[in-house]
Structure 1
Amino acid sequence: MKNNLSNLSKKGLLFAALRHEEMPRIPWVPFAGVHAGSLKGYKADQVLTDKEKLIESLLEVNHQYDPDGQPVVFDLQIEAEILGCDLVWAENAPPSVATHPLASTLELPTRLPEKTDGRLPLVLDAMASMKTEVGSHTALYGLVTGPFTLASHLRGTEIFMDMFDHPEYLRGLIAYTTRVAKRVSEYYLDAGMDIIAVVDPLVSQISPKHFRNFLSEDFTGLFSFIREKGAFSSFFVCGDATKNVEAMCQTAPDCIAVDENIDMLAAKQITDQYDITLEGNIPLTTCMLFGTQQDNMKYVLDLIDAMFPGDVLPKNLIISPGCDMPYDVPVDNVVGTMQAIREPETARLMVANYQSGEIDLDQVSLPNYEQLAKPLMEVFTLDSASCPACGYMLNAATRVFTELAGSVDMVEYKITEPKNVARMHKMGVKNLPSILINGQVKFSSIIPSNRELIDALKEAIK
């Protein structure tokens, strides 16, 4: 039987969305990972290694942003660290993976994480505390690293060659990382999590054919496992995963979460066919980090109007940032987002005559690509230090840059800097991450193999 719509709690509202019921309003889930630390003056490395600082920061998120649901930790390196990857820590972003223990071997690991390994004790204690403090009214997310991204942490960029050179090894590695995801999911569920979000950014970087060949069966089994444990599941992917949305639906998660690279209206037409909830996709930098409060309110209102015109009751939608919010997102922007979701009619009055400022394209100058002495690789990323897909795209470019020593030039543009947002718009870059060669987009939201990138550069050298 459906809940009485007028009696739904915030937590109940989110559960109704995940049960695919009509709702009185759309649920709100701020993905505040390291940003949570900024609310209390703690750096990213502090909030991800100190239990008391983490809990204090999470409670501040709950107080200031009044979420229907919230993640406890947003760090896709927790499992990788346990399994032997070295990390590089930052003050305003999650750590990144620096070493890949399987980069030069076709070994298949068997070890599964124990509750006492790495930072799991910190995470599990924080989950238990948050369950006690806010769990009665806020749905809590446990985020696990998806099997493909975890495999890439262990294997490095070799994983993209494995699809062609070592397909059976890759299937075995994915089967292993799926077992890791199930083990960690079980720990998080035991700690009281309501939703397990399987976060796998690199899914956007492969073709539907490769998704079905290497990932479909394992993801289907993982979501079935979570369902059998009595919890909800979310399939969380970053980047332009448009090509894989239907294949993701066929693995049967309760929800699919996407970022700004995805056309939400088009994606929802697909997810609705499978009666799967769609979550997203407030732009992280252009809107949340660099925009105004009105920009964020208007984005939310436009999204709601596009999805549910007229008096249609909302269904199968959760509004969230497209991924983990940048550390320095202004609090007013997040509060404005929440207000637009909770009080859309009031928000409409506030932005009725608002016009967003134009991006100053003249602040950047472009190279004369016709006169370059050697080919130029330009890698556009959200931030290679915090976005796994961006990091592996940059690694692929760096590897080839090193291999072709002296024959090409390379530069990275992170759109965490306003001038690089302008450069992105001026050059017509639509999706992140992307590799351009001599000003032309060659690889957009798909990480090239070593051979593909070298061939593209050699063509430019001619």
Structure 2
Amino acid sequence: MNSKERILNALDCKEVDRTPWLPYAGVQTANLINVNAREYLTSVDNIVDGVCEAYKKYSPDALPVLFDLQLEAEAIGCQLKWADNNPPAVATHILEEGKTVKDLPFPTEESARYPIALEATKRVVEKLGDKIAIYALICGPFTLALHLRGVGIFSEMMRKKDQEKVDELMEYTVQIGKDLAAMYKKTGVDVIAVVDPMVSQISPKHYERFVKEPTTKLNTYIREELDLRVMTFSCGDATKNLESMCQTNTHGIAFDENVDLAFAKDVAMRNHVAYGGNLPLTTVMLFGTPAENVAEAKKEIEIGKGPGFILSPGCDIPYNTPIHNIEAISDYASGNYTPVDVLDEAEFNDNSQEFEDIAIEKGKVFIEIITLDSEGCAPCQYMCESVKKILPKYKEKIVWRESLIKSKAGVNRMAKLGVKNLPTMLINNEVIFDNIVPTEAELVTAIEEHL
């Protein structure tokens, strides 16, 4: 059984000879060829070189061509904010600028960076498509709706008079997904991953009302009209919506370390879909030793063993993740590994300063948002935006900061505050919004209670 067969059989919940390994090496592959994220995501040659280098180093059974959930929003008209070590973030929301859904364009193969993504994918398929399964990632309909509308969509979902606006927007974003999936089909990819991280930030009630049917329509199109496998992917704590995600005519679900793997296995098997995850991105892959990474991979393979399981990171691997950690997982997954007790115990070099405690002053509130990184994590971005949106109302009464866990200081801060999920918002050091972006009304109420 070769690598491609192993992945496709796993997605069909068939027996395989060993657990398939899928590293989500997005901008991390830019690090492999010594370029930054922008240089990588705007160059066909760099993307192809990076993916080919990841193939050489990580012995994968499958690889994504690029992990950039802002591609569609940019083509529709949103401005991006670029960073050296992350995919870009959406900086402006076109539906906040006086436009309506009817004003929005339908991108073509010539729009914005679509030509780069499509040509790079075509060339990767030509080079590696006979060896491994090639994934094309598209932005899920709800996350794309957030990119276009901004955090105001949460309030619209709560108001009956505005709910039809959300439905109209979701219908549009589904069509955008169908169109891009059809373009990727022409390049020869094997799997379309519909990556919708923002569904972890809404309740099961809202998932059922606004997201489940549109996602099912998109997945059905990919599965039946395009004849491709489709994977439904959400980072953050998607536990509450996992069952519904399985019921969207998907071949499989993928999730991060916020979801218990044994629980996800039960849900997936009950719904006869594959499942993939969920190596911890920071505490293990970024800051752990090779031995700790192998131990984590071993644990997850033991939990997930059997039809349908694909070993993978919880999301896009951070840019600075030590290469030897990913190689250690790769060697273990492929059966070509060094015993854990003799692996190099070198630690990631991190000289970051511990986060300062902020004194709580009477008549003021301190808001702290614990994130992976709002520049590269959509749920983190929109939780931060929810605070920025209400700052003019309170002015000097609010002090706020984002505390990233992409350093050991950040991991220590998360543990000190008792934070379990990302993103989480604390007010005066008390967890208030755990892995759910508040509406403006909910946030204002919480602030008033702490003033």
TM beyond 0.5: yes
What is the distance in 1 between the residues matched to 2:200 and 2:291?
30
Contact 2:133 2:191 in 1 (8 A): yes
**Quick one: which of 109, 112, 117 aligns to 2:111?**
117
Contact between 2:80 and 2:90, CA under 8 Å: does it hold in 1?
yes
Which amino acid letter does the alignment assign opposite residue 247 of structure 1? S
Conserved? CA contact 1:197–1:235, under 8 Å: yes
Distance between the aligned counterparts of 1:175 and 1:295, measured in 2? Answer: 44
Which of 141, 144, 151 lines up with 1:150 in the alignment?
144
RMSD over aligned Cα atoms: 2.2
| Superimposed CA distance per residue, residues 8-60 of structure 1 (whole angstroms, 9 cap, x where no aligned partner) | 11110001101101212111111111111110111110010011111111110
Question: 1:9 & 1:196 partners in 2: Cα distance?
Answer: 20
d(CA) in 2 for partners of 1:37 and 1:233?
26
User: Where do 5+ consecutive residues of structure 2 fail to align?
Assistant: none
Q: 2:23 is matched with which residue?
A: 30
**Equivalent in the alignment of 1:210:** 206
Matched residue SS, 1:91: coil
Take 1:409 and 1:348, find their aligned partners in 2: how far apart are those partners? Answer: 46
Give runs of aligned pairs for residues 165-176 of structure 1, distance below 5 A.
165=159, 166-176=162-172
Conserved in 2, the CA contact under 8 Å of 1:301 and 1:348?
Answer: no
Q: Which amino acid aligns with 1:147?
A: P
Q: Does residue 50 in structure 1 map to residue 47 in structure 2?
A: no
Shift of 1:272: 0.8
CA contact (8 A) 2:29 2:50 kept: yes
Task: Determine the C-alpha separation between the residues in 1 that align with 2:125 and 2:97.
Answer: 42
Give, in angstroms, the shift of residue 365 of structure 1: 5.8
Q: Contact 1:148–1:174 (CA<8 Å) still a contact in 2?
A: yes
**Counterpart for residue 266 of structure 2:** 269
**Contact 2:358/2:366, CA 8 A, preserved across alignment:** no
Superposed, which structure 2 residues align to 1:356-375 within 5 Å?
A: 366-367=357-358, 369=360, 374-375=364-365
Q: Show the 5 A alignment for 1:415-430.
A: 415-430=405-420
Residues 102-139 of structure 1 deviation map (CA, whole Å, 9 limit, x = unaligned):
01547123531111111111111111111111100110
How many residue pairs match? The answer is 446
Question: Residue 59 of structure 2 contacts residue 331 of structure 2 at CA under 8 Å; is this kept in 1?
Answer: no
Aligned residue in 2 for 1:297: 294
Per-residue deviation, 1:366: 3.8
Compared CA separation, residues 80 and 209, structure 1 to 2 (3 A):
same
Match of 2:397 in 1: 407
Question: Could you give the per-residue CA deviations for residues 329-372 of structure 1, whole angstroms, max 9, x where no partner exists?
Answer: 11100001112212288545657x99x99x99x95564455x65
Letter in 1 for 2:265: K
From 72, 79, 93, the equivalent of 2:65 is 72
Q: Structure 1 pair 421/56, CA: closer, same or farther in 2 (3 Å)?
A: same
The answer to whether residue 96 in structure 2 is matched with residue 103 in structure 1 is yes
Task: Determine which of 200, 216, 228 is the counterpart of 1:231.
Answer: 228
Question: What are the Cα deviations for residues 214-273 of structure 1, in whole angstroms up to 9, with x where unaligned?
Answer: 011111111111111111001110101100001111112111110111111111111110
1:177 aligns with 2:167: no
The answer to whether the Cα contact below 8 Å between 2:365 and 2:450 also exists between their aligned partners in 1 is yes
Summarize the alignment of residues 128-147 of structure 1 with structure 2, pairs less than 5 Å apart: 128-147=122-141
Please tell me whether the aligned partners of residues 35 and 325 of structure 1 are also in contact (alpha carbons under 8 angstroms): yes
Q: Does 1:341 align with 2:338?
A: no
1:439 is matched with which residue?
A: 429
Deviates most, 179-188 or 245-254: 245-254
Q: How does 1:389-408 map to 2 (within 5 A)?
A: 389-408=379-398
Code of the aligned partner of 1:112: F
Q: Report if the CA contact (8 A) 2:301-2:311 is conserved.
A: no
User: 1:215 & 1:144 partners in 2: Cα distance?
Assistant: 16
Secondary structure of the corresponding residue to residue 397 of structure 2: coil
Give the TM-score, by structure 2 length: 0.95
Other-structure match for 2:279:
282
The answer to whether the Cα contact below 8 Å between 1:401 and 1:409 also exists between their aligned partners in 2 is: no
SS in 1 for 2:193: strand
CA deviations on 1:127-172 (whole Å, 9 max, x unpaired) are 1111111100110000001111111111111111110231000001
Q: Is the 1:204–1:240 contact (alpha carbons within 8 Å) kept by the matching residues of 2? A: yes
Equivalent residue number for residue 5 of structure 2: 12
- Aligned residues of 1:233 and 1:254 also touching (Cα < 8 A): yes
Alpha-carbon distance between aligned partners in 2 of 1:122 and 1:364, rounded to the nearest angstrom: 40
Could you say what secondary structure the match of 2:409 adopts? helix
Q: Which amino acid aligns with 2:205?
A: K
The whole-number CA distance in structure 2 between the counterparts of 1:121 and 1:280 is: 30
> Could you say what secondary structure the match of 2:95 adopts?
coil
Rounded Cα–Cα distance in structure 2 between residues aligned with 1:173 and 1:271:
29
The 3-state SS of whatever aligns with 1:286 is: helix
Separation in 2 of the partners of 1:331 and 1:349? Answer: 19
Give the counterpart letter for 1:276 in structure 2.
V
The answer to whether the 8 A contact 2:65-2:135 is kept is yes
**Distance in 2 of aligned mates of 1:349 and 1:420:** 28
- Closer, same or farther: CA 73–305 of 1 in aligned 2, 3 Å: same
Say which SS state the counterpart of residue 223 (structure 1) adopts: helix
